[in-house]
């Protein structure tokens, strides 16, 4: 029986490690699922890494683009200067050129990673998929927030490269209808935007053996529900 060739995917991420917050968690889980499938073979290029962190902790190849002696305290802050710095370092990386020439698909998150992904898609003729976390084209809605991307003027430094990347992308992945609407409202083709809701592991999260009614009868306590995230 012939063994089908796995699809090689280069994953370029602004947000990958440490595993803090929604974006890094979703990116790591996404790559883990790709790696565990029989169809894909992913390799990850985090734009930032801390010296001493072992890339062998993962079951898939990880090649940091830039390594810091200490992870910057403002690593989660995104400004035009930071985006430019990451993009330049990515372009200077010799290893990524070699790897991208051999892959079938480039997968990125937004900002520097998507900008470089679009560049390599156009120069190497690769397929490009971008995972979009949202809140780039919502200056009016979030105008009172202090982040640069919500500023009425500075926000254009995020929107312009995002438009370039999204227009180049073959697929845009979002996790909710609100993000789909955010993109279509500013003119992006809804046909290439795919909604993949954030899932969960039933091996970790599962109902108790007894039903809620049985629990109420047993100890007469009210049902408590913890919700974390947003309802879309």
184 domain-assigned? yes
Look at residue 215 and tell me if it is in a domain: no
CA 81, CA 83: separation in Å to the nearest integer? 5
Count of Cβ atoms closer than 10 Å to residue 167 Cβ: 11
Count of structural domains, the chain: 1
- Residue 224 located in a structural domain: no
Q: Six-digit token pair at 26?
A: 């979703």
1 in a structural domain: no
47-77 in b/e burial notation, b at 16+ Cβ within 10 A? Answer: bbbeeebeeeebebebebbeeeeebeeebee
Residue 64 falls inside a structural domain? yes
Rounded to 5 degrees, φ, ψ at 225 are -120, 130
Residue 126: CATH number of its domain:
3.40.50.2000
Domain presence at residue 69: yes
In a domain, 178, yes or no: yes
Q: What is the pLDDT of residue 143?
A: 59
Q: Which H, E and C letters describe 65-82, residue by residue?
A: CCEECCCCCCCCCCCHHH
> What are the distances in angstroms from CA 144 to CA 130, 140, 158?
28, 9, 17
Per-residue pLDDT of the chain (232 residues; tens, 9 = 90+): 445 789 999 999 988 876 566 788 888 888 999 999 999 999 999 888 878 888 888 999 998 887 766 655 555 555 666 666 666 666 666 667 788 889 999 999 988 889 889 989 998 999 999 999 888 887 666 656 666 566 656 667 778 889 999 999 999 999 899 999 999 999 999 999 999 887 777 777 776 666 656 655 556 666 677 777 665 5
The residue range of the domain holding 47 is: 7-204
**Domain annotation covers residue 219:** no
């Amino acid at each position: 029986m012939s063994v089908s060739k796995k699809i090689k995917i280069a994953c370029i991420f602004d947000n990958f490690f440490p595993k803090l917050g929604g974006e890094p968690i979703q990116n790591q889980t996404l790559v883990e699922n790709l790696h565990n499938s029989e169809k894909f073979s992913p390799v990850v290029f985090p734009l930032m890494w801390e010296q001493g962190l072992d890339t062998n902790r993962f079951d898939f190849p990880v090649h940091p683009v830039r390594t810091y002696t200490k992870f910057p305290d403002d690593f989660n802050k995104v400004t035009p200067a930071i985006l430019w710095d990451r993009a330049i370092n990515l372009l200077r990386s010799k290893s990524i050129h070699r790897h991208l020439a051999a892959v079938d698909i480039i997968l990125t998150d937004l900002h520097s990673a998507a900008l470089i992904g679009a560049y390599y898609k156009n120069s190497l003729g690769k397929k490009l998929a971008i995972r979009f976390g949202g809140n780039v084209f919502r200056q009016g809605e979030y105008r009172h927030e202090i982040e640069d991307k919500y500023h009425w003027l500075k926000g254009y430094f995020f929107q312009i490269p995002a438009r370039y990347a999204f227009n180049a992308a073959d697929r845009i992945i979002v996790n909710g209808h609100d993000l789909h609407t955010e993109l279509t409202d500013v003119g992006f083709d809804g046909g290439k935007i795919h909604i993949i809701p954030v899932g969960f592991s039933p091996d970790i999260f599962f109902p108790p053996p007894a039903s809620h009614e049985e629990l109420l009868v047993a100890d007469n306590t009210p049902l408590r529900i913890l919700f974390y995230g947003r309802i879309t």
